[in-house]
């Protein structure tokens, strides 16, 4: 039986997240403020508070008349998400947050503090429709796209936590953002692109992060990759390849049945050229599935002399999975063969594994 007072509001399916300042371009913000009967410059003041100072608390906006603050906050800075819980490890320098959105949907983000940088891994969709069999998020299917502001708020919240010293090591700045949480960012193209603008526009129009510190990871949606290349950004593209041959990739990354290895690699090289940045090829090493020496050689031949860096990710087995990470000797041999082809390669660290916060484990299990 539901207990009165404990009922939480759950929006009807299909309802849109409330409009938020971070959804709007600077021009749209001015328009929205004027529609509320306020002077256009209030939009700039609001942006200074939200993007510049990370303040969403009207009590702190002393340059705005008290009578206007409540109205502006209600209309443009609604609460989009609440923390269900934080889970930490690595002496609290890795922290996963489970968020509940306005309609009860759950998504996760992860903050990782290293000695020389701080990275946040964020979600672009609730769930994912790409159905990769080794990925926890893929198992549950797609619930919905996140709004631009729901994406930006994950970052703003992380920046607030860093600024306030909540994360051990003293106040710090966020340096990197990776779209490697839940969802396929290029399947939510417009909102993700707008989020990148909000994250990277210089303060106070945006959060002032460097485009070069942002990585968009994709299964390989070729038209969207080419479109992203046309935007003229310097964000990094990561391509989740996981197999160098179509036969295996059709299974590991089912969208490969639509866009083949040769096509996704062409789109990746186009992106590298346009953005003037190396593409990162992601390859989860799965024992006896994709870690054979001949596949390393095939991958090496396809990537040699290209603007690329390979990131090998030891598979994080999802619950009930029949697959596990490669044997250490097979991983070493895979690295050696790629290097023999002159392909730069690193093995990704698996931070957050024990809190189910590592790559591909974000499943918002509750």
- Give the footprint of ligand SAH on this chain (CB under 6 A): 128, 130, 132, 134-135, 180, 184, 217-219, 240, 282, 284, 313, 315-316, 318, 359-360
Shortest Å, Cβ 40 to ligand SAH: 38
- Cβ closest to ligand SAH, residue 136 vs residue 161: 136
Cis amide linkage into residue 204, ω under 30° from 0? yes
Shortest Å, Cβ 145 to ligand SAH: 13
Shortest Å, Cβ 57 to ligand SAH: 33
C-alpha dihedral, 236 to 237 to 243 to 244, nearest 10°: -90
Are 237 and 218 in contact by the 8 Å Cβ rule? The answer is yes
- Cβ closest to ligand SAH, residue 45 vs residue 311: 311
Shortest Å, Cβ 233 to ligand SAH: 17
Cα gap 285→243, rounded to integer Å: 9
Q: Whose structure tokens read 């939480």?
A: 8
Torsional sign, CA 155, 138, 216, 324: positive
Are 323 and 287 in contact by the 8 Å Cβ rule? The answer is yes
- Cβ closest to ligand SAH, residue 56 vs residue 248: 248
Give the orientation angle of helix 293-303 with respect to helix 328-340, to 10 degrees.
Answer: 30
Residue nearest to ligand SAH (CB): 360
> Environment class of residue 71 by beta-carbon count within 10 Å: exposed (0-12), middle (13-18) or buried (19+)?
middle
Which residues does the annotation mark as catalytic?
A: 108, 359
- Cβ closest to ligand SAH, residue 94 vs residue 218: 218
């Amino acid at each position: 039986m539901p207990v009165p007072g404990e009922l939480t509001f759950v929006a009807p399916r299909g309802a849109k997240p409330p409009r938020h300042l971070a959804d709007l371009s600077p021009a749209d913000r001015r328009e929205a403020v004027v529609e509320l009967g306020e002077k256009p410059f209030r939009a700039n003041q609001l942006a200074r508070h939200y993007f510049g100072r990370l303040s969403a608390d009207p009590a702190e906006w002393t340059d705005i008349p008290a009578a206007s603050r409540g109205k502006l906050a209600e209309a443009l800075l609604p609460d989009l998400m609440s923390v269900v819980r934080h889970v930490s490890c690595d002496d609290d320098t890795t922290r996963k947050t489970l968020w509940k959105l306005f309609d009860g949907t759950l998504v996760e983000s992860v903050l990782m503090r290293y000695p020389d940088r701080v990275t946040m891994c964020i979600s672009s969709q609730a769930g994912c429709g790409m159905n990769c069999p080794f990925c926890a998020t893929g198992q549950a299917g797609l619930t919905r796209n996140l709004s631009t502001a729901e994406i930006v708020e994950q970052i703003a919240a992380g920046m607030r936590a860093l600024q306030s010293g909540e994360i051990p090591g003293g106040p710090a700045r966020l340096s990197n953002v990776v779209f490697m949480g839940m969802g396929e960012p290029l399947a939510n193209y417009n909102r993700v692109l707008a989020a990148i603008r909000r994250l990277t526009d210089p303060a106070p129009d945006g959060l002032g992060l460097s485009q070069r510190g942002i990585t968009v990871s994709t299964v390989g949606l070729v038209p969207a990759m080419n479109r992203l290349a046309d935007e003229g950004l310097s964000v990094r593209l990561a391509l989740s390849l996981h197999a160098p041959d179509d036969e295996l990739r059709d299974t590991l990354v089912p969208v490969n049945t639509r866009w083949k290895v040769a096509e996704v690699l062409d789109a990746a090289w186009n992106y590298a050229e346009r953005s003037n940045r190396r593409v990162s090829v992601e390859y989860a090493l799965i024992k006896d599935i994709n870690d054979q020496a001949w596949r390393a050689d095939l991958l090496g031949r396809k990537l040699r002399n290209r603007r690329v860096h390979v990131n090998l990710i030891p598979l994080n087995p999802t619950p009930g999975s029949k697959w596990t990470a490669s044997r250490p000797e097979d991983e070493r041999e895979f690295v050696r063969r790629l290097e023999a082809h002159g392909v730069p390669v690193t093995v990704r660290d698996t931070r957050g594994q024990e809190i189910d916060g590592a790559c591909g484990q974000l499943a918002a299990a509750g």
